[in-house]
Structure 1
């Protein structure tokens, strides 16, 4: 009997966990995120290292346990210039213990140019992370810019958006709220 109760309890907890963080992808599409495509929950946590301007090394696993919006961009990318302020606004509003916008400048992007880019676009809340040899971008199948990849707490890619988007829109915020729901 005790064994049955334990099994039933485990199944209920597992079922409730499975339903947390469900995203209404069609609603997001209809509300303006037409380019956001759900992924097959493929593991996204790569062992590929990337850096920061101070020479520190990072991996995507640094954000495991949080929902992360990983954005690949470059200083020369015009759509990135349009998109970056909305990523900054999203981080400002929803960033914290459960969610983080992780911006990674891929390719040749001098730190001085990144600082200039952030100043010109009014970005104040995003990290400066670098993938100068595009090793992380290649390992994640990034072939153009910008590309944004939504990663769940377990390190799985749940959606990808090719091109720019308004990440400060109600539709984007709703997706993030759904992903971080407990």
Structure 2
């Protein structure tokens, strides 16, 4: 008799993601309705606000190409600002960036499943990055096209986030990590991912 797949507790299933996003969209629509009904009718439009916004240094995920990192170990972390397990994992990823040379290891984060207009998301990402200890590049997957592409390479990302891929120096998938890595019942993302990276560097 087949058993249901094990889903780690330290992750957000995509089903829950869709429910959360639906709830957030409804809330945003309600806020927008109240604002339009009670606010100044001569206020700036959404288009005007977008045109006034500063350029946000959060590049599109399509700009990240694995081919540009040939010969390196590559860690790709899929996350979202609203995902609590994702945020818990960030300090470990930042420490990994300090531990390993950029000549040997590439570490990037791809923000996926964010809610809101693209300009709002980029602003939120930039603010979050500025307030955290993130020291590795963050890309925004606005259309989730990049996330889906990686899911074809390693079918597991569609289950939930955080999701981490580690690829070897030849671009082959070495590890697929769903949720925050746990050892002996405790979260240990730095220790576990560090061992995976070092194993590849040692050959």
Q: Could you tell me the TM-score, scaled by structure 2's length?
A: 0.57
SS at 1:164's partner residue?
coil
RMSD: 2.2
The count of aligned residue pairs is: 130
Contiguous gaps of at least 5 residues in structure 2: 1-9, 11-56, 116-120, 152-156, 182-187
Larger radius of gyration: 2
Query: Would you say the 8 A contact 1:73–1:106 is kept in 2?
Result: yes
In the TM superposition, 1:1-182 aligns within 5 A as 53-54=58-59, 57-108=63-114, 110-123=121-134, 125-141=135-151, 142-143=157-158, 144-165=160-181, 166-169=188-191, 171-182=192-203
Contiguous gaps of at least 5 residues in structure 1: 1-34, 36-51
Offset from partner CA, 1:114-167 (integer Å, 9 cap, x none) = 1222244322x1102121111121122221111000101111111100012333
SS at 2:197's partner residue?
helix
Higher normalized strand content (fraction of residues)? 1
Query: Partners of 1:100 and 1:173 in 2: how far apart?
Result: 13
Higher normalized helix content (fraction of residues)? 2
Query: Partners of 1:127 and 1:172 in 2: how far apart?
Result: 18
Query: Partners of 1:134 and 1:61 in 2: how far apart?
Result: 20
- In structure 2, relative to structure 1, the CA distance for the partners of 1:54 and 1:132 (3 Å cut) is closer
Query: Would you say the 8 A contact 1:147–1:160 is kept in 2?
Result: yes
- In structure 2, relative to structure 1, the CA distance for the partners of 1:54 and 1:136 (3 Å cut) is closer
- In structure 2, relative to structure 1, the CA distance for the partners of 1:121 and 1:137 (3 Å cut) is same
Query: Would you say the 8 A contact 2:59–2:138 is kept in 1?
Result: no
Q: Could you tell me the TM-score, scaled by structure 1's length?
A: 0.64
Which segments of structure 1 move beyond 4 Å, counting only runs of 4 or more?
A: none
